[in-house]
Amino acid sequence: MTRLDIRHDLGASLTVRDGRVDLFEYVYRPDTPQLESPKPYMHPIRTRAGRVVSLFRPWDHVWHKGIALSLPHVGEENFWGGPTYVHGRFYVQKDNNGTQQHREFTRLETADGAAAIAHDLDWITQAGAKFFTEKRVIGARVISDEAWMLTFETSLTNVSGGEVSIGSPTTKGRENAGYGGLFWRGPRSFTDCRLVTADGSGPGSEMRGGRHEWMGFAGRHDHDDATSLVLMVDDADNPQHPPQWFARSEEFAALNPAPFFSEELAVADGETIRFRYGIAIADADAEAAPELAAEVRSRMPGSFTAA
């Protein structure tokens, strides 16, 4: 059994290690400018062979941060970063960039070959109002010589004092731009590479907006010309399962199971919504995706732990 370790840089980040390889760093207290909607993120993310499969703060979208939970339209607030889409005006920079603020850890341990991180957060608007409290659980374990997996669970409770609708630029009027949720941004070298689902594969322009239980991105690295596979699985109990996917390969590499792609979700005051995902990181190509998706599905927890 492969043993994972956690290194804690107090007040800043956690690093999960697989022997000599840092699988990922989880920055739970970032020094992000307010304009970029400060939020915890995972970067760099590496395969077991040590190849980096994430990108941090790219010049085209500086609010993209490896893997992060990001929501562009939470009522009138922006927990994504940057400008807000306004129909008829395109993107407008407002004073509405909120913060996901770490409060305290509730679990930080390694056992049975796995690592587990759990913490509580507050979602606070730029004006200082608390909109959500969150319980988040992140797990990691090795699943083969070539692959390891993340689990990401979140429970978001509306504490704003009123109903809050969560949406996307598409629900606000921009066609086929339904991003929002757990979002992965890939390396520059992955641009124009291959997206794959159980129903086939193709570029992001063809795959974006489709409904799938899982989607993978097979990208190629500079320097050694190797291929890595990042694959995200949506839990069957998630709202809007199977989700529409916001995915790109042209211009840049991105994967996002987007539950609010084309329909807003209204969350009543005091109501809790829950999401869970499995993410495989593999030294593999697109042909490995179906078997890897099945393996991730079999290892996802049977009930929510972020309760």
> What one-character-per-residue DSSP string does 245-293 give?
EEEE-SSS-EEEEETTSSS-EEE-TT-EEEEEEEEEEES--GGGHHHHH
Q: Average pLDDT in the 4-33 region? A: 97
| H/E run at residue 206 | helix 204-207
Extract long-range pairs of 86-94: CB within 8 Å, 24+ residues apart: 86/172, 87/172, 87/173, 87/174, 88/173, 93/35
pLDDT at 302: 79
pTM of this prediction exceeds 0.85:
yes
Q: Is residue 305 part of a domain?
A: no
Q: Is residue 49 part of a domain?
A: yes
CATH number for the domain harbouring residue 90: 2.70.98
Share of the chain above pLDDT 70, in %: 99
What is the per-residue pLDDT across 126-154, written as a single tens digit (0 to 9) for each? 999 999 999 999 999 999 999 999 999 99
What is the per-residue pLDDT across 257-300, written as a single tens digit (0 to 9) for each? 999 999 999 999 999 999 999 999 999 999 999 999 999 999 99
Q: Is residue 306 part of a domain?
A: no
Q: Is residue 124 part of a domain?
A: yes
Q: Average pLDDT in the 5-24 region? A: 97
pLDDT at 292: 98
Q: Is residue 275 part of a domain?
A: yes
Instruction: Pull the structure tokens for residue 99.
Output: 């913060």
On average, the pLDDT of the chain sits at: 97
Please tell me the distance from the alpha carbon of residue 36 to that of residue 26, in angstroms, as a whole number. 17
Which distant-in-sequence residues (6+ apart) come within 8 Å of 206 by Cβ?
none
Q: Is residue 307 part of a domain?
A: no
> Is residue 32's pLDDT more than 60?
yes
Compute CA distances 174 → 60, 82, 88, 131, 179, whole Å: 19, 16, 9, 25, 11
Could you list the residue range(s) of the whole structural domain that residue 11 is in? 4-299
pLDDT tier for residue 307 given thresholds of 50, 70 and 90: low
Structurally, the chain folds into a number of domains equal to 1
What is the per-residue pLDDT across 49-86, written as a single tens digit (0 to 9) for each? 999 999 999 999 999 999 999 999 999 999 999 999 99
Cβ(99)–Cβ(39) under 8 Å?
Answer: yes
